[in-house]
Chains A and B, each alone.
Chain A
Amino acid sequence: MSSVFAQATTKGPPINWEALSPFIALVVGACVVLLIGLARGAFIRRQVVPVLTLITLGVTAGLGIWQWDTNEAIISGALKVDNLTLALTMIFVAGGIAATFLSWRSIATVEAGEGEYYALMLTSILGMLVLVAANDLVVLFIGFELLSIPLYVLCATHMRREQSLESGLKYLIIGSVGSATLLYGLALLYGAAGGTNYADIAAVGSAMADDVLFLTGIALVMAGLAFKASVAPFHQWTPDVYEGAPTPVTGFMAVATKAAAFGVIIRLFDVALIDATVTWAPAFATLAVITIIVGNVGAIGQSSLKRMLAYSSVAQAGYMIAGVVVTTQLGISAVVFYLAIYVVMNLGAFAVITARERETGLGDDISSLYGLGRDRPLLAWPMTISMLALAGFPVTAGFFGKIYLINAAVDNGYAWLGVAIVIGSAISLAYYLRVVAAVWMREAPATSLTLSARPIMAGGSQEADDEARAAGIEPGADTGRVIADDFAEPSIAVSGPRLSQPEVVFVAIVCSIVTIAFGVYPEPLMDVARDAGAAFSSLL
């Protein structure tokens, strides 16, 4: 009797705590940040909370590296912690760290409450992690909501600006439609397959290829995920939400959400639905072409940089779908590589936009960049490198990202998708180079608040930066320390001719250095991407 009982206890659901540790780190971090954020002291709220956020993200990344090559399904196969999950975790963490730096002096964090703001961000990252690790339809949906709900709130954190609230509301409504579509699709898949685990679905995949229930489920899931990944024609929310949200949140959303959406698309379609490829691959390939065209054409003529980057993110999503459609390890590796470089290319641009919003009072209009090349080389070069990389110029990571994707497409008989990618890139020159031209080939307008008297942040003004850094950590600093950003009232923006934002410039420069470094020597990142692809051992 006792032996039977002993046997029963040992047979409890095994939980691999080590593999689960990155998730736990985020949960604990979010709670701690939320609680510390309740403190009254401005120093604690303004400085300690972001530092704790950074520590949480750092620990998560560290645990992820520790668990590299685990490749295990944990908690009864609900979560799959493999190299794809961990590689994408690094991307989320990178996005989170950059967003934390960009938010450091943002007025949005003050209005929302620092603790809540950063805790929401960490929760959203946790949701992304759950989403890309999901190996079960129910877990997928939990991750999806855990990722989305904090983002709805984050978009609206700039509470005194109408556009921010509008952005949050719009995202909430459209996001909910997406969620509902997804949930319906998942329910149909469950009904058709008789199980929620990916393995159950994969087991019946080939038998169900003609089943109406199954096919409708696939279509609805595809649409629901396409909302999140801003794949046309489900992209309409993207420009409005990107434009309205506080810029640091936009930057975070643009890179991390995209990576999460593609993570789940890869795992769901290339594992659970792999035997139904013939049914969904043509649909996705068509969506890819539509997305490339819509995104690239939409971006032309946008004078708001955030709207332009929103359409550009739509276009880039189109390129990446090509890597999913081919259903090969090479394709997955190409997507992971592209997502990784996509993070740095975009965050560099968002950092510059953040800096200029605070300095000029012109918001994210392209005119805020006029004369940047002459006045602020340390912002001008990162912006230039970001744009050239997004356009796919050589000696930036974007060049190899495109080669990788085209290679994956051609390799498995989708040469025409490769052609679509290059045609899209050709169109994209029109708007990326417009930004470069604004930076280098336009004079700063006389009415601009870009004061020529302001010390240039290039090399020589090291003291100014240090001074600001020293001042920034000063405990006494209160509201004056927070720099108005994101379309703040012009009167506020004028106040700062000596705006010094070392952390924003730092993000911009690090991003551009990484972009160039991977453009010259992409091998290390490609190894990571290849490992992520190799986690899908059933594929070619």
Chain B
Amino acid sequence: MTIHLSILVFFPLIAGLLAAFSPGSLAPKILLIGTIIPLVYTAYMITDFDAGAGLQHVTDDAWITELGIRYKLGVDGLNLWLIALTTVIAFASAIWLIVRPPAERVGLFCFHFALGETAVLGAFVSQDLALFVLFFDLMLVPFYFLVGQWGTGDRAAAALKMVIYTLVGSLLMLAAAVATAALTNPDAPITFVISELQANPLPETTQKWLFIAFALAFLIKMPAFPFQGWMPDAYKAMPLPALAFFSGVVSKVAAYGFLKLVLPLFPAATNDWNVILLVLAVISILYGSIQAFTQTNARLILGYSSVAQLGFITLGIFAMDSDAAGAQGALLQSINHGLVVAPLFFVIALLAERAGGSEDIRDYGGIAFRAPILAALFLIVALATLAMPGSANFAGEFLILLGAFSSVQFLAFVASVGVILASVYALRMYIRSMHNRVGEKVTSFEMSLRDGLVLVPLVIAIIAFALYPQLALDAGEATVRSTVEAVLR
């Protein structure tokens, strides 16, 4: 049986449209239904998945014949678990919106959120380059409105900065995507289907230019050093439920884009220029980590830790070791990071509630006193973040470093410092908020059952994944290996 991926992609949007026209109390519940269906579909796809069968559940229809754009969707080992991550985080965020709805215009908030989920899912399942670019650019629109309308502080400026930064990259990618399609096999009719583009690689010099445009778009989206300028303002302004999804999932689309598009379409350019990407990755790791343990705003600590984590992911993708361990680790780590960062943002919301609304960790302290369960859950997530042995993050980072050590030893050595730094910033945040002297503004109380509805499932997912990360690795292994081998050849 073929599951029609269109339903998976567009069901949230339909629910979001309904939510936009419903009263504020009902809207998040409609959104929840809109996120459950994709979750169930994904669960089914995981059980039904055949790791050796390549692209599955394919939808392939003519869409715009004049431009050679096809409506082609499919699932393979590369995107299966990222889709799962998306649906899980969206589901958790939808519960969050029920538990703690935004102050006003709830229906519209839900609509934008649902549009965001649709765009991310669409980007993950697209097997057509133009379709991918479309969804990739579309992702930005709902988050622009979410920051600008429901954000805090100087929200309009933050939203504009975010859009201009990321869209400059995306627009260059748009031009590069069109160029890729137009220049590939110029005698044949134009096509944007990725597998067909992959079959006819471009000349090396052309690849190099196109590689730059794509890499720029993805590095900005992640964000990686030195393109992280939009991140602090956007993270500070974005409403937390949206930020959990944004930080957990949207940045992974960029990592996925490297694996899905850049490596297969521009193998020669990847070989030539992967060192630049590796250096940027290592700088991101160090810069992100150092920023993360000097910042005091809890959101920014997580934001910069994401920069560091995505540095690890980029390192893995471009490690190019013959076993493809780095790339596999990168895929695993993409899922891990999404799973840990989303609950951390929820924890921030709970901490802020106990510290008079402050998100500055200097105002925290001693919150564990009357909230042992919250502290325990927080600790599990924090330990997963610092890649404690036994967590899935440990497996991911281990594979990445393994891959890097076998191909670029020096950079791998520098990068492993980042592992130590991760424990510094993760534990610093935990200790400053949960232990120490009780902060002046702090009134410690246990989390409610309703809040547990959001946090507990995510923590369970982290633990489950820690116990058996092999599931995701097995699914992705064949695809990742062939991608890397194609580049190395």
Contact A407-B164, Cβ < 8 Å, known A394-B134, A441-B149: no
- Say yes or no for A513: interface residue by CB 8 A criterion: no
- Say yes or no for B156: interface residue by CB 8 A criterion: yes
The distance in angstroms between the C-alpha atoms of A406 and B175, with both chains bound, is 7
Among B177-185, B238-246, B252-260, B308-316, the stretch in contact with A: B177-185
- Say yes or no for B453: interface residue by CB 8 A criterion: no
Contact in complex: A523, B168 (CB < 8 Å): no
- Say yes or no for A404: interface residue by CB 8 A criterion: yes
The distance in angstroms between the C-alpha atoms of A441 and B163, with both chains bound, is 15
Contact in complex: B167, A429 (CB < 8 Å): yes
Residues of A within 8 A of B67 (CB): 400, 403-404, 407, 526
Contact in complex: B65, A394 (CB < 8 Å): no
One of A388, A395, A526 near B134 (C-beta < 8 A): A395
The distance in angstroms between the C-alpha atoms of A527 and B155, with both chains bound, is 43
The distance in angstroms between the C-alpha atoms of A461 and B148, with both chains bound, is 28
Contact in complex: B164, A403 (CB < 8 Å): no
One of A333, A425, A430, A530 near B171 (C-beta < 8 A): A425
Residues of B within 8 A of A374 (CB): 105
- Say yes or no for B398: interface residue by CB 8 A criterion: no
The distance in angstroms between the C-alpha atoms of A238 and B171, with both chains bound, is 28
Residues of B within 8 A of A440 (CB): 145, 148-149
Among A40-48, A240-248, A346-354, A414-422, the stretch in contact with B: A414-422
The distance in angstroms between the C-alpha atoms of A221 and B130, with both chains bound, is 38
Least CB distance from A61 to B in Å reads: 23
Contact in complex: A402, B174 (CB < 8 Å): yes
Q: Which residues 207-240 in A have Cβ within 8 Å of B in the complex?
A: none
Least CB distance from A424 to B in Å reads: 9
- Which residue of A is nearest B151, CB measured? A441
One of B105, B137, B181, B190 near A393 (C-beta < 8 A): B137
Q: Which residues 357-373 in A have Cβ within 8 Å of B in the complex?
A: 373
Contact in complex: A418, B149 (CB < 8 Å): no
- Say yes or no for A281: interface residue by CB 8 A criterion: no
Contact with A along B209-240 (1 / 0, CB 8 A): 00000000000000000000000000000000
Contact in complex: B171, A394 (CB < 8 Å): no
One of B66, B135, B163 near A523 (C-beta < 8 A): B66
Least CB distance from B137 to A in Å reads: 5
- Say yes or no for A399: interface residue by CB 8 A criterion: yes
- Say yes or no for B144: interface residue by CB 8 A criterion: yes
Contact in complex: A422, B174 (CB < 8 Å): yes
The distance in angstroms between the C-alpha atoms of A394 and B134, with both chains bound, is 5
The distance in angstroms between the C-alpha atoms of A411 and B190, with both chains bound, is 10
Contact A394-B175, Cβ < 8 Å, known A429-B163, A429-B167, A530-B66: no
Q: Which residues 408-436 in A have Cβ within 8 Å of B in the complex?
A: 410-411, 415, 418-419, 421-423, 425-426, 429-430, 433-434, 436
Residues of B within 8 A of A421 (CB): 175
- Say yes or no for B141: interface residue by CB 8 A criterion: yes
- Say yes or no for B138: interface residue by CB 8 A criterion: yes
Q: Which residues 144-162 in B have Cβ within 8 Å of A in the complex?
A: 144-145, 148-149, 155-156, 159-160
Contact in complex: A399, B183 (CB < 8 Å): no
Contact in complex: A441, B159 (CB < 8 Å): yes
Least CB distance from B198 to A in Å reads: 19
Least CB distance from B247 to A in Å reads: 22
The distance in angstroms between the C-alpha atoms of A395 and B138, with both chains bound, is 8
The 7 closest A-B pairs by CB, nearest first: A394-B134, A422-B171, A526-B66, A441-B156, A441-B148, A410-B182, A422-B175
Binding site for B on A (CB under 8 A): 333, 373-374, 388, 392-395, 399-400, 402-404, 406-407, 410-411, 415, 418-419, 421-423, 425-426, 429-430, 433-434, 436-437, 440-442, 521-523, 526-527, 529-530
Q: Sample 17 A-B pairs with CB under 8 A, ordered by A number.
A: A374-B105, A393-B137, A394-B134, A395-B134, A403-B130, A406-B179, A410-B175, A410-B178, A410-B183, A411-B190, A422-B171, A426-B167, A429-B163, A429-B167, A430-B160, A433-B164, A441-B159
